[in-house]
Structure 1
Amino acid sequence: MDPFQNMINWRQNMDRFFGEDFWGEFEGILKPTIPQINMYKSDNELLLLVNVPGLENLDDLDIFVDYSILEIKGLISLQTSQKQCIQEEILQGTFERKVELPYPVRGDRMQATYRNGIVVIQLHRMIQEEGKRNKIKIKSLDEK
């Protein structure tokens, strides 16, 4: 008998008993997400503080915004000499994180700066013109 099949069966039984989202709730406890992000908003502006320690080359960090999704990709690498690690609390490694923003943002008003291990991202709310109505022309499908 395949031991991995037993694990799959066990997990499926746990999913049925506790619900499918049961394991997802433990993910942040077992493996904290990196990078850590603080997000602040006003009526028309978002300010995000992203913790990326040890970033020496800004080209190693990519930030993308698509409508109301922020995506951050990069590498946290803390260089140390050839010493044995005794305790490690600062998470390292490659990361990719997507964050849903509270509202859509403008593509022409984005700014990011890096200082002292913190990336500061400023985004501006996409405001659509109020009262602008677009008329839709109706085409007849009846043949004449």
Structure 2
Amino acid sequence: MDPFQQMNDWKKNMDQFFGENFWNEFEGMIKPNIPQINMYQTDHEIMCIVSMPGMSDLSQLNIFIDYATLELRGTIDLEHASGIAIQEEILQGVFDRQIKLPFPVRADKINATCKNGLVFIQLHRLISDTSSRNKVNVKWLGDE
């Protein structure tokens, strides 16, 4: 059984007692976020680097941009099913993660590339106030 599922069941029971908002600050400790990301900001751009270990098919990751929100959906699967796990520190599984961006971004100027298990998402600051959710296509870069 997935240990995070047991923790999630325990959390749901505690939500009934304490209320849902009580746990918001503890969420990262209860179940760490996957995929892991680094985000860097300049005056007019945001660069997000998403860790996708073992990704061999671009359909394992869906990226959506909506105004000032980056949404990541997909699966991290290391494809190693033989043997008994002695230690597992690389998080894997299905994810659906929304990340608040520091400013709204343009839907027409997004670049996403993938190389060596890392996805690089380049976003540009939006000047107007229009909002629309857009799917981002990821391109493979040659492996070295």
Same fold, judged at TM 0.5 (above): yes
The amino acid of 2:127's aligned partner reads I
Measured at CA, do residues 92 and 109 of structure 1 come closer, stay the same or move farther in structure 2, by a change above 3 Å? same
Change (3 A) 1:59 1:8: closer
Given residue 77 of structure 1, which amino acid in structure 2 is its aligned partner? D
Normalised by the length of structure 2, the TM-score is: 0.74
Q: Structure 1 runs of 4+ off > 6 angstroms? A: none
Distance 1:95 1:22 in 2: 23
Q: CA deviation at 1:81?
A: 4.9
Partner of 2:112: 112
Matched residue, 1:137: none
CA distance in 1, matches of 2:29, 2:87: 18
Contact residue 60 and residue 76 of structure 2 kept, 8 A: no
Report the CA distance shift for 1:23/1:95 in structure 2 as closer, same or farther (over 3 A).
same
The share of aligned pairs that are identical, in percent, is 50
Distance (Å, rounded) in 1 between the aligned partners of 2:75 and 2:42: 30
Aligned to 2:7: none
State the shift of 1:42 in Å: 0.7
Residue in 2 that maps onto 1:100 = 100
In structure 2, the gaps of 5 or more residues are: 1-11, 129-144
Would the alpha carbon gap of residues 85 and 125 (structure 1) be closer, same or farther in structure 2, given more than 3 Å must change?
same
1:49-88 to structure 2, matched below 5 A, reads 49-88=49-88
Residues 9 and 111 of structure 1, relative CA distance in 2, 3 Å threshold? closer
- The 2-side partners of 1:96 and 1:10 are apart by 21
| Bigger Cα Rg | 1
Q: TM-score scaled to structure 1, two decimals? A: 0.74
Give the root-mean-square deviation of aligned CA atoms. Answer: 2.1
User: Letter of the aligned partner of 2:73 in structure 1?
Assistant: K
Greater CA drift, 78-87 or 88-97: 78-87
Q: Deviations over 1:36-86 (max 9, x none)?
A: 111111111110011111111012210000111110101000012521111
Matched length = 117
Change (3 A) 1:59 1:11: closer
